[in-house]
Amino acid sequence: MNIALISILAAVNLWTFVTWGLDKRRAVRQAPRTPESTLLLLAAVGGGVGAWLGVRLFRHKSSKKSFLLPLIVATIVGGLAWYTILDLLWQTKPTA
């Protein structure tokens, strides 16, 4: 498997997790927040694991049911996109 793609996916998840934590901190301090659309976009581009870790560990957005359904959809979309990319790259691997 391509190490660069896995590194990108890990970085996106780390970025998503940190963004979740910062948004929770801002929520507690009543500071300007990260838009929900940004949080969902991060999950949709492959940060689903980081997003769900943020939901669980920071207890952020965990009680907002109207947000959890779009988060599930974004996570599935991101997962399917990455699966498709990796599957296509795996199939086009040159044979010796």
Is 31 inside any structural domain? yes
Is the CB of residue 82 less than 8 Å from the CB of residue 49? no
**pLDDT surpasses 60 at 1:** no
- For residues 77-86, give the mean pLDDT: 90
45: DSSP letter: I
Give pTM, 2 decimals. Answer: 0.85
Asked if 71 contacts 36 with a C-beta cutoff of 8 angstroms, the reply is no
What domain count does the chain have?
1
Structural domain contains residue 96:
no
Query: What pLDDT, on a 0 to 100 scale, did the predictor assign at position 14?
Result: 98
Range of the domain at 39: 3-91
Q: Does pLDDT of 94 surpass 70? A: no
- What is the tens place of the pLDDT at every residue in 5-48? 889 999 999 999 999 999 999 999 999 999 999 999 999 999 99
- Say if CB 5 and CB 85 are below 8 A apart: yes
